[in-house]
Structure 1
Amino acid sequence: MKLNDFEQYVDDIIVERGRQYYQEKRIGDIDNQQDNRYVIAVTGSDDYLVVVQLDEQEAIVEAGCNCPYTGGPYCKHMVAALLALREEEVQTVAAKRVSSEKKAGTVLPVKTSLREQLKSGLSCQPKEKLINLLLDIAENDLTIADEIKAEFSSGSDEKEKWIRLMRRYIEQAEDDDGFISYRNCQRAVEGAYKVVARARRACDEQEYELAVDLALCVMCEMTGMLESADDSAGDVSTVIYEVQDVLVQITDTVPPGPEAEKCFLKILHEADQRRYHNWSEWRMDLLHFCIAVIQNPRQREQFEQYLKKISLKMEEKDQDAFFREYESEAIALLQYELIDKFDGKKAAVDFLYAHRNFSRFRELAIQEALAVQDYAKAEMLALEGEENDHKLPGLIIKWKEFRAEVYRLTKQLDKMREVGRELALSGNFTYYQKLKSMYEPAEWVQIYPGILVEFAKQSGYINDNYTSAIIEEQEWEKLLEYVQKNPHRIVEFYRPLLTKYPEQVYELFKEEILQDAARSSKRSHYKNICSRLRLLVKIGGNRIAADLVKHLTFEYMRRPAFYEELKNVKVK
């Protein structure tokens, strides 16, 4: 994938959203660090950094972003950054070309994009001809007709025109029964992205009421669409995140006054709709945006009354304990935001402490205690959390991490080591490495053998800590013993064993290949076996590989696919 054609390898919707960010000039500095490695700042709902590594031919070797998007390998921030980087590269190349042309006295043709070509051709056409062209296109495509109507509408009917466009895309994606399949879901939300883009422009133009109306109508249509759509790829959820991004922009920029109050009332009204009965998280997000534009005690009272109403409804609903706990915590967090905004720091901290039975409140309370250097309180809250949440391993680890931080800040080395050992045995190997850093090398050689024994007793994925630790400590004999008991992992661990135990490594390859051949039945399996035979040849086991090829060819002569693959293994 190269910088000049990366769009071919990225979902069309992600490309469109990234192009929109690029056109909105959300790209900050492009930092060319060294060896074609770039760090590019992109502004979305937060400021994100995109890292891009190019090779000498401008192929994209590596690209990543620190945003929370998990819907695919590329996000809109990466697309925007790559577009900006491409523009910079084009300008750099053009500047070099002009310089060389001046020196040589020649003029070379410059490649232009399709957009630039069309712009060049259309800009010199008469207005009437362009209008007729648009009319001809629109008559043959109702979606384009709806988009033109929406784009050039204004006043009271603009919102309805954008809703019509959004629904047009949804209707086109539905099957005869009105259901939207997994394959068509991405197409169904394209209209929603266009409405989101218009809402963002409205906010930029300080048309805050229109921006809120459009953002909320997307929420309405998307939640309704979920009733009859397979959104297993997360297309609808991604649109909702885009809407939330717009709402952040609105609530951050709308000035105090009548417009802010209208935004508050519209968002609160939307949150109260029955369609969020099964989408509690999105309702809570909307209420969070309400708090950002509350300006006076009257609005606060109205908001608090609504929180009481949904609390009562929640108690009446037939929910399991987990969802009841989730909603109770979410409502309490909204109350905390209000108190923090209007009643001052002390009242907010007191509220945190009083609601520390909720994990998020306990976490915030510990962070507050650390911030004011009340380490005894932070330790007490963490220990209390470990006791209360003893059936929840993830939370126990979190509270232990806070204790470790307390002991680090208070220089209590023995307690740091104690909790460090507990964390090391919890499943994440980085804790083992952190624990090791707490000891001098002479001390550590007395400590780690006991931890290896504990690791060896563990089962499942967590046992990878055992192999990671014996490699960390270069206990090659123990690694060999482990692989001999688990020969299916020889490909994973042959490298550190090959120098000291070459013959044992070859025999383990042989054992695993024979076992795998006995249970294989498809060409893809045979290809995997042959790739291991080639690897065996590459690492010096040519004689054993040759014997294996002869044996397998004879043993499985009635499997023509296997026979064909074996013929392609080159052995001496």
Structure 2
Amino acid sequence: MNPSNPNTASRSSEIDLHTILSNQNKEELIKIILDLSDDYPDIEKLLLFKYTPQKDEISTAKKLITASINGAKRKGFIDWRQVGPALQGADLTLQKAQVKVEKGEWESAVLLALAVMPPVVKMLNFSDDSNGSIGDVMNWAIRTIDDAVTTSLPNLNDKEKKGLFDAIIKEALKAHYDGWSDWRYALLKTCTNYSPAKDLRIKLEKQLESLQSGPESTWHDRYEKTQIKLLQFEIIERCDGADRAERFIYENILESEFREKAIALELGKGDYKKVIQLCLDGEEANKEYRGLVHKWKEYRYQAYEMIGDIEQQKQLARELLFKNEFSYYLKLKELYLPNEWNVVLNKIVDDFNKMDYQPSVYLSILKEENLTAELLAYCQSNIRSIIDLYPYIIKDYLEEVNELFTKYIEYSAEEATDRKKYRTVCSIIKTYKKACGTIHSHKLIGELREKYKRRPAFIEELGKIR
């Protein structure tokens, strides 16, 4: 054995510890564990949680979760740095729940995951969850519940299924989800797995109808109504067959989620004319929502492709191109013969040049087509862009690139007033050196040294350029 090898030493100490513990009697081992628990209270909590009898595991889990949260509070608030430690009890509980799912102990898994959710969602009221850890744990709990429910369906009797259904729906309807309804609807979505059972379906639908009876005065109210309709659709699709599901889709076609389902349905059937009409209707109905209009246009383009309508593809591809979608530039180019394309390209470039502000797709086109003169003109109007665009134009316009870099560096040096900004100027000079060579960069550095000799911090940073 090599004593200088830390891994060997570590294994040796583990063997020694195992040997020592093996030589102790039961009473001595109990004493060792109790002494450690006195010195390290977290060990006591973990041992109690891990080895507690099944009948007590939920109450023990709740105590562990609460202890972790309370231990992380400072003056009633949990700083973002303490959110991780605050969630330690919840993490351990969900790890245990996952093991339960794998072992087929589905009821225990669901109840453990449900035990996590109330205290963790309430943490949002007194925590800085900038890194999203609380949301991650809530989503983990829901995934665990869903895994337990879906894998248990063929294996549980009706009474056992009803018990889990009641536990989940009871949690979903609690007031602490009023401000965080996505988790409420995620839990109710899990309950739709039980909807083939007539009595459970009736109970779930009554709860959904009750939730739907609320006001519809705000965007959030309307959002919640849509989530409820999607759950109702889930039940119908699961229990009533494709025809009834399709009728429900068209009964709710004004909801964008259902319009998208209808489009997918008609695409599957190959009814592309119906897809086009659904998209046109959607563009009109949702004209105040640019994201939705864009989505319907993309689906419409897909339908035009399927029916081979070249003229409509050209028109719509150009329209989407000017919405900053470069993929439609490539599609548009494929729709023209090579001898037609130059005229179309020149018109596209001219139209972009008429805009007050050129989007990123314009530069992508110039680079794709190697339009160096237009790229140079863009750099001259947007001098900062020379840093990124010089590789595309330097072969044809070395002198102009050198001039643009010099102007940009001189301007940046004039604006620089502290060491951080001086470093930024030096970073630009390094790029300039890479682009135009050592002679040009050293000449400029010399001029800057002379001009700013009363700025020692700047002179020092310039001296670091190699």
Contact kept, 8 Å, 1:212 with 1:247, in 2: the verdict is yes
Find the counterpart in structure 2 of residue 226 from structure 1.
Answer: 124
Compared CA separation, residues 130 and 438, structure 1 to 2 (3 A) = farther
Deviations 1:406-458 (CA, angstroms, capped at 9, x unpaired)? 11111222222221111111122222222223333322222122222333344
Compared CA separation, residues 537 and 134, structure 1 to 2 (3 A) = same
Secondary structure of the equivalent of 1:439? Answer: coil
* Mapped pair 1:527 → 2:385: no
* Mapped pair 1:547 → 2:443: yes
**Any residues of structure 2 matched to 1:110-125 within 5 Å, and which?**
120-124=15-19, 125=21
Find the counterpart in structure 2 of residue 73 from structure 1.
Answer: none
Task: Measure how far apart 1:190 and its partner are.
Answer: 1.6
Q: In structure 1, which of residues 173, 176, 181 is the aligned counterpart of residue 72 of structure 2?
A: 173
* Mapped pair 1:216 → 2:117: no
Contact kept, 8 Å, 2:259 with 2:278, in 1: the verdict is yes
Q: Which has the higher helix share?
A: 2
Deviations 1:260-285 (CA, angstroms, capped at 9, x unpaired)? 22111111000110001101111111
What are structure 2's unaligned runs of at least 5 residues? none
- In 1: Cα distance, 2:352 partner to 2:10 partner: 60
* Mapped pair 1:380 → 2:281: no
Contact kept, 8 Å, 2:276 with 2:303, in 1: the verdict is yes
Find the counterpart in structure 2 of residue 396 from structure 1.
Answer: 293
Deviations 1:301-344 (CA, angstroms, capped at 9, x unpaired)? 111110111112345xxx52x21221111011001001001111
Contact kept, 8 Å, 1:556 with 1:562, in 2: the verdict is yes
**Any residues of structure 2 matched to 1:272-291 within 5 Å, and which?**
272-291=173-192
Compared CA separation, residues 500 and 148, structure 1 to 2 (3 A) = same
Structure ID, larger Rg: 2
Find the counterpart in structure 1 of residue 160 from structure 2.
Answer: 259
Task: Measure how far apart 1:205 and its partner are.
Answer: 2.0
- In 2: Cα distance, 1:395 partner to 1:173 partner: 43
**Any residues of structure 2 matched to 1:340-359 within 5 Å, and which?**
340-359=237-256
Contact kept, 8 Å, 2:61 with 2:115, in 1: the verdict is no
Q: In structure 2, which of residues 208, 215, 234 is the aligned counterpart of residue 307 of structure 1?
A: 208
Secondary structure of the equivalent of 2:359? Answer: helix
Task: Measure how far apart 1:256 and its partner are.
Answer: 4.4
- The amino acid across from 2:275 in the alignment is A
**Any residues of structure 2 matched to 1:58-457 within 5 Å, and which?**
120-124=15-19, 125-126=21-22, 128=26, 130-175=29-74, 177-254=75-152, 255-257=155-157, 258-315=159-216, 320=218, 322-457=219-354
Task: Measure how far apart 1:113 and its partner are.
Answer: 9.4
Task: Measure how far apart 1:114 and its partner are.
Answer: 9.9
- In 2: Cα distance, 1:506 partner to 1:536 partner: 8
Q: Tell which deviates more after alignment, 305-314 or 483-492.
A: 305-314
Compared CA separation, residues 419 and 133, structure 1 to 2 (3 A) = farther
What are structure 1's unaligned runs of at least 5 residues? 1-106
Contact kept, 8 Å, 1:427 with 1:465, in 2: the verdict is yes
Compared CA separation, residues 130 and 491, structure 1 to 2 (3 A) = farther
Deviations 1:29-53 (CA, angstroms, capped at 9, x unpaired)? xxxxxxxxxxxxxxxxxxxxxxxxx
Compared CA separation, residues 342 and 559, structure 1 to 2 (3 A) = same
Find the counterpart in structure 1 of residue 454 from structure 2.
Answer: 558
Find the counterpart in structure 1 of residue 366 from structure 2.
Answer: 470
- In 1: Cα distance, 2:10 partner to 2:422 partner: 48
Secondary structure of the equivalent of 2:213? Answer: helix
- The amino acid across from 2:405 in the alignment is F
Q: In structure 2, which of residues 400, 420, 423 is the aligned counterpart of residue 504 of structure 1?
A: 400
**Any residues of structure 2 matched to 1:474-485 within 5 Å, and which?**
474-485=370-381
- In 2: Cα distance, 1:220 partner to 1:488 partner: 51
Compared CA separation, residues 568 and 275, structure 1 to 2 (3 A) = same
Contact kept, 8 Å, 1:506 with 1:541, in 2: the verdict is no
Compared CA separation, residues 314 and 111, structure 1 to 2 (3 A) = farther
Secondary structure of the equivalent of 1:428? Answer: coil
Find the counterpart in structure 2 of residue 93 from structure 1.
Answer: none
Contact kept, 8 Å, 1:261 with 1:294, in 2: the verdict is no
Secondary structure of the equivalent of 1:427? Answer: coil
TM superposition score normalised by structure 2: 0.93
Compared CA separation, residues 118 and 335, structure 1 to 2 (3 A) = farther
Compared CA separation, residues 507 and 290, structure 1 to 2 (3 A) = same
Contact kept, 8 Å, 2:196 with 2:239, in 1: the verdict is no
Q: Tell which deviates more after alignment, 332-341 or 119-128.
A: 119-128
Compared CA separation, residues 133 and 453, structure 1 to 2 (3 A) = farther
Secondary structure of the equivalent of 2:124? Answer: helix
Task: Measure how far apart 1:569 and its partner are.
Answer: 2.8
Secondary structure of the equivalent of 1:313? Answer: coil
TM superposition score normalised by structure 1: 0.76
Compared CA separation, residues 229 and 513, structure 1 to 2 (3 A) = same
Task: Measure how far apart 1:224 and its partner are.
Answer: 1.2
- The amino acid across from 2:461 in the alignment is E
Contact kept, 8 Å, 2:110 with 2:148, in 1: the verdict is yes
Compared CA separation, residues 473 and 335, structure 1 to 2 (3 A) = same
- In 2: Cα distance, 1:181 partner to 1:293 partner: 40
Secondary structure of the equivalent of 2:179? Answer: coil
- In 2: Cα distance, 1:341 partner to 1:360 partner: 18
* Cα RMSD (Å): 2.3
Task: Measure how far apart 1:166 and its partner are.
Answer: 1.2
Compared CA separation, residues 434 and 116, structure 1 to 2 (3 A) = farther
- In 2: Cα distance, 1:346 partner to 1:488 partner: 59
Deviations 1:148-185 (CA, angstroms, capped at 9, x unpaired)? 1011012332111111111121112100x210011111
- In 2: Cα distance, 1:267 partner to 1:139 partner: 38
Runs of 4+ in 1 over 6 A off after TM superposition: 113-118
Find the counterpart in structure 2 of residue 96 from structure 1.
Answer: none
Q: Tell which deviates more after alignment, 534-543 or 271-280.
A: 534-543
Task: Measure how far apart 1:292 and its partner are.
Answer: 1.3
Deviations 1:207-241 (CA, angstroms, capped at 9, x unpaired)? 22211111111111111111111111101001111
- The amino acid across from 2:390 in the alignment is Y
- The amino acid across from 1:233 in the alignment is N
- The amino acid across from 1:262 in the alignment is G
- The amino acid across from 1:178 in the alignment is G
